[in-house]
Amino acid sequence: MRVVTADQAINLIREGDTVLIGGSGGGHAIPESLILALEHRFLEEGKPGKITLLHPVGIGDGQGQGVDHLAYRGLLKRIVTGAFVNSPAIAELAKEDAIEAYTLPQGALSQLMREMAAGRPGLVTHVGLHTFIDPRYGGGRQSLSAKEDLLEVITLAGQEWLFYKPFKVDIAFLRGTTADEQGNVTMEHEAVFGEMLSMAQATRNAGGVVIVQVARLSQGDTLPPKQVKIPGMLVDLVVLDPDQRQTYQVDFSPAYAGELRVPLTDISPLAFDARKVIARRAALELFPGAVCNLGAGVSTGIANVAAEEAILDQIVLSNEQGLIGGAPASGMDAGAGINYTAMIDQPYQFDFYDGGGLDLAFLSFAQVDARGNVNVSRFNGRIIGTGGFPHISQNAKKVIFSGTLTAGGGDISWSEGLTVIQKDGRYPKFVSQLEQITYNGRFGCEREQEILFVTERAVFQLSSAGLELIEFAPGLELEKDIFAQMEFRPQVSPILREMDARIFRADPIGMASDLAKKPHTNIPSRLRE
């Protein structure tokens, strides 16, 4: 192992290389100094060019940080990632067809790192079937020049699977907290572990170069062996950046690092608005001991609701980055969390999700059609990608999709528990045609999932017959306030009822007493005998 500058490390990159970048979302364990050094070299020298960029999780703050530093014509040939929501400049290159762009499931890419490390032929999984990830419906392509098939449909044991092909990695950009003189790397201050070990193994076994950015150096043989996440035998170069931030928003939070638990009063209650109403109604699906995932967007508000209602310790919230328990962070820091009980590597979290370990998945939606298909990946001229959405939505026992009924400038308030719509949004979200299918409603029904769609004014359930209205907000007219704001007419339940009136008032609604009356339904059957 050698300690070098970021510029020295970047000089090893050659034309046409595949560069693998670790880290997650809004700055979590992202080797920002290495990314910046690659940008600077390209601007000064016009090389290296035709780079393939590979990163399982979207990387950036949406305002120029992260991989948006590399959004130059000629620098990138191809990008394969879970999401572009963090890197709008890269998304623009994809829209302009200036690069070959693919968005594949975050977990599949994460798990693929292990397959590559082991020299196995690729990843076989059901995740992504019957969505735009499926080669029969697009193969995850987000630009016209993306011609290569990065996955294929295979039949194994009489069942269809998706086979994700491996990549040969030339250079890996990884990050930790401390490196010793032998190159052993710990991650004690990082907000997530990601899949740093698998990435290092995959790169080394492919004959590539592993470069790790850290905040500090230590004497050899002084790091606690059980804290070493990347053994020195896998590390070629170490780059020191004492100013690296824990996330793009936070220099360092001991709570994000798991060094302390903060009072629940530090978790701010949501403002009383549509987001809170939706999060409350979704949270009514919770039961004691429920193992849950909170997706991005409005669904992250469930952690705030659970803290305000003093039920956070009665459920298990998790995120796909590997945190279990506590309260997942929202906004730009989504992916981090506080008061968690465990942090595991991301591939293992997705293993648990893919195997059906989630009791409840709380996910946001952008568009929904009459068959219960959901689009979150590409809509209204925006390329977003999938993130972990296909894994979570496809495999949870019960899925609660959340969002407002309309989008674009709506104005809704509540008075004495009644919904008052001053102005509807300009765009319907329940539409007749989706640009991409990120969740297949029919496939979910075939897998016997329970599927709900929660909005601020209506709740729908999905069956094999299609979308059905089961609840509506007090004070609304069905025709004017719900059906007229949809591009299709859903079925109506014969036992249509009003939504719980408590969720439309500002005060806490007493979820703790609700939960106390519900059984633990996820206990193994033999323990209930």
For the chain, the helix, strand and coil percentages under 3-state DSSP, each to the nearest 5: 25, 30, 45
Peptide bond into 48 cis (omega under 30): yes
Residue 265 exposed, middle or buried by CB count within 10 Å (0-12, 13-18, 19+): exposed
Question: Are the beta carbons of 295 and 371 closer than 8 angstroms?
Answer: no
CA dist., res. 320 & res. 165, Å (int): 22
The residue whose two tokens read 């979302």 is 25
Partners of 321 in the β-ladder: none
3-state secondary structure of 225: helix
The reply to whether 148 belongs to the active site is no
Peptide bond into 224 cis (omega under 30): no
Longest dimension (CA), the chain: 71
Tell me the sheet residues that pair with 175.
213
CA distance 33 to 11: 14
First to last CA, the chain: 57
- CA-to-CA distance for 68 and 261, rounded, in angstroms? 34
Rounded alpha-carbon distances, angstroms, from residue 33 to 36, 44, 173: 5, 16, 10
The alpha carbon dihedral of 301, 400, 510, 327 has a sign of negative
- State how far the alpha carbon of 17 is from the alpha carbons of 65, 93, 121, 169, in Å: 22, 19, 21, 8
| Residue 196 CA, distance from chain mean position | 17
C-alpha to C-alpha distance for 238 and 5, rounded to whole angstroms:
8
Catalytic one among 100, 115, 320, 456? 320
List the structure tokens of 96.
């302009």
From the list 331, 326, 330, 328, the residue with the least C-alpha distance to 311 is 326
Residue 247 and residue 27 in contact, taking contact as beta carbons nearer than 8 Å? yes
Element (H, E) at 513: helix 511-516
Is residue 58 a contact partner of residue 80, using CB atoms and an 8 Å limit? Answer: no
Q: Is the dihedral of CA 319, 323, 328, 333 positive or negative?
A: negative
Contact 476, 457 (CB under 8 A): yes
Report whether 176 contacts 218 (CB < 8 A): no
Nearest to 245 by CA among 175, 197, 294: 175
Q: Does residue 472 sit in helix, strand or coil? A: strand
SS3 assignment, position 334: strand
Give the catalytic positions in this structure. Answer: 320
